[in-house]
């Protein structure tokens, strides 16, 4: 007797990510109650499963949804506001003044929705975000029905959101209490960066992270200036300071990690820390090129992020995957470094590991959540196709993403968003443009 299930999706290829480099031809994926039940040859599926809904994807690859390991989603409303500037000039003279004028709950909710719509249309199913008003981010994720880890942001300086580090932490933890138990939401502690956070506040963050088992999401070693300033102010490099404060552990997600010595790479590996690599943002802000090959060789888990639309200016994970594979080769003069299958794993399983979610997402295994994306490979940009994994990384673009599921729910269907209204989001973004400019 065939087992009754919710959905059966058949595709020309399935790339499960685990085992590494495998591509299954003419396979189907069975989903029930939001979870993957099985992956089996399409010819064998009717004998095993009776599906309430059948989706025949034809010439597509079905793969795990992409995991954006670092973003500030609401900053999509600041896209293109300040380009061609180095990090500290960009932040101090453009972004922070704009944020202090504009960022309120409504800005974060609407900006995050705009970003989530863009990410969904690019195959992203889970985002690790860091911004003010985490409650607004949570509501946006619930509206979109997308998975997300919400940073409980900490800064020392006052903003409209909070007055000092204690207030940021208090407000963040209240938000966590309010949304705890939501199956698609998780939380991180998000101290902004070593140059904005005191030793005392880092100490509190470590204690809370251990007590509440929360990952720590922090910008780290992003620019040369950050290292110079730390040597001037603390007489040590930022990572050595964080090491002395007890931050290096498997709970740590260090964002950027562009400027690292060999010793620092080994510390990250020895302590089981994770790195979020943001190649486009690092190039655009002239921060540099992260030593991704050396990190991977040392055994550090490296995932991939977009950073914000104000420094990228796209929230396009397929573009970041391609850039990751290409930059690693250009930086090392080694063509075999970060091969296509590894770049894909970084944007899926490695991201899931960094978030402590690899039991649930990041690869297509029975029992894991049905967080999936489908990418068509029968367009002229992807013809002919010898190897779907090669095309996913080097040839396909986000416009080839046709369908996305989160926990078995179809959020993108033939490129149409099912939970969000694209035209309304664009209209709201236009209205915000006038406020941003004034
Ligand atoms: C405290 S919420 C996040 C905070 O970070 C700012 N930000 C955005 N991009 C970057 C970056 O690349 N490095 C450092 N800080 C960044 C954002 O504007 C918010 O103020
Ligand atoms: Zn960032």
- Give tens-digit pLDDT for 323-344: 999 999 999 999 999 999 999 9
Tell whether residue 341 is among the known ligand binding residues.
Answer: no
Gap from CA of 192 to ligand 1 centroid (Å): 7
Please choose, from the candidates 128, 87, 151, 108, the residue with its C-alpha nearest in 3D space to the C-alpha of residue 275. Answer: 128
User: Once rounded to an integer, what is the mean pLDDT over residues 173-200?
Assistant: 98
Q: Where in the chain is the domain with CATH 2.30.40.10?
A: 3-64+370-417
- Residues whose beta carbon lies within 6 Å of some atom of ligand 1: 72, 87, 91, 95, 99, 130-132, 153, 155, 192-193, 219, 222, 281, 307-308, 311
User: Once rounded to an integer, what is the mean pLDDT over residues 350-378?
Assistant: 98
Gap from CA of 110 to ligand 1 centroid (Å): 18
CA distance 3 to 26: 20
- pLDDT of 408 reads 98
In which band, very low, low, confident or very high, does the pLDDT at 411 lie, cut at 50, 70 and 90? very high
Give the sign of the dihedral formed by CA 217, CA 223, CA 228, CA 233.
negative
Gap from CA of 220 to ligand 2 centroid (Å): 10
- pLDDT of 438 reads 78
Tell whether residue 222 is among the known ligand binding residues.
Answer: yes
Q: Where in the chain is the domain with CATH 3.20.20.140?
A: 66-354
Instruction: Give the right CATH number for 66-354 from 3.30.1330.200, 1.10.10.10, 3.30.830.10, 3.20.20.140.
Output: 3.20.20.140
CA distance 371 to 17: 13
CA distance 181 to 178: 9
Taking CA atoms only, the protein residue closest to ligand 1 atom 19 is 131
Tell whether residue 70 is among the known ligand binding residues.
Answer: yes
Element spanning 208, H or E:
helix 199-212
* Average pLDDT, rounded, for the chain: 98
Name the class of domain 3-64+370-417.
Answer: mainly beta
CA distance 435 to 83: 19
HSE-CB of 9 using CA atoms within 13 angstroms: 28
Percent of the chain at pLDDT > 90 equals 99
In which band, very low, low, confident or very high, does the pLDDT at 117 lie, cut at 50, 70 and 90? very high
In which band, very low, low, confident or very high, does the pLDDT at 105 lie, cut at 50, 70 and 90? very high
Gap from CA of 324 to ligand 1 centroid (Å): 21
Tell whether residue 358 is among the known ligand binding residues.
Answer: no
If one counts every other C-beta atom within 10 angstroms of the C-beta of residue 223, the result is 21
């Amino acid at each position: 007797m065939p087992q009754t299930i919710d959905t059966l999706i058949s595709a020309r290829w399935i790339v499960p990510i685990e085992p590494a480099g495998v591509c299954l031809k003419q396979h189907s994926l069975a989903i029930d109650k939001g979870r993957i039940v099985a992956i089996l040859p399409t010819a064998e599926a009717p004998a095993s499963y009776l599906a309430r809904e059948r989706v025949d994807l034809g010439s597509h690859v079905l793969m795990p949804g992409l995991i954006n390991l670092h973003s500030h989603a609401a900053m999509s409303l600041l896209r293109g506001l300040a380009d061609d500037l180095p990090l500290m000039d960009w932040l101090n003279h453009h972004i922070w003044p704009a944020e202090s004028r504009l960022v309120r709950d409504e800005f974060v909710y609407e900006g995050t929705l705009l970003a989530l719509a863009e990410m969904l249309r690019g195959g992203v199913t889970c985002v690790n975000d860091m911004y003010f008003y985490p409650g607004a981010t949570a509501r946006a994720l619930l509206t979109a029905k997308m998975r997300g880890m919400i940073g409980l942001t900490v800064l020392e300086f006052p903003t409209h959101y909070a007055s000092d580090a204690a207030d940021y932490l208090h407000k963040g933890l209240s938000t966590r209490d309010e949304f705890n138990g939501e199956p698609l939401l998780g939380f991180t502690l998000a101290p902004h960066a070593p140059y904005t956070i005191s030793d005392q506040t880092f100490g509190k963050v470590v204690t809370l992270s251990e007590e509440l088992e929360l990952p720590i999401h922090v910008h780290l070693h992003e620019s040369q200036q950050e290292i110079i300033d730390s040597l001037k102010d603390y007489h040590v490099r930022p990572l050595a300071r964080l090491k002395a404060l007890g931050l290096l552990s498997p709970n740590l997600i260090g964002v950027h990690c562009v400027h690292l010595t060999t010793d620092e790479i080994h510390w990250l590996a020895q302590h089981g820390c994770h790195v979020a690599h943001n190649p486009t943002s690092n190039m655009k802000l002239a921060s540099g090129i992260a030593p991704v090959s050396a990190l991977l060789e040392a055994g550090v888990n490296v995932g991939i992020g977009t950073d914000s639309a104000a420094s990228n200016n796209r929230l396009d994970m397929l573009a970041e995957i391609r850039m990751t594979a290409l930059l690693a080769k250009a930086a090392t003069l080694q063509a075999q470094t970060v091969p296509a299958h590894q770049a894909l794993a970084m944007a899926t399983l490695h991201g899931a590991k960094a978030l402590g979610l690899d039991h649930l997402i990041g690869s297509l295994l029975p029992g894991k959540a049905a967080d999936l994306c489908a990418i068509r490979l029968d367009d002229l940009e992807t013809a002919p196709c010898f190897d779907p994994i090669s095309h996913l990384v080097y040839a396909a673009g986000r416009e080839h993403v046709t369908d996305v599921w989160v926990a078995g729910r179809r959020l993108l269907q033939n490129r149409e968003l099912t939970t969000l209204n694209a035209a309304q989001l664009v209209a709201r973004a236009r209205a915000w443009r006038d406020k941003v400019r004034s």
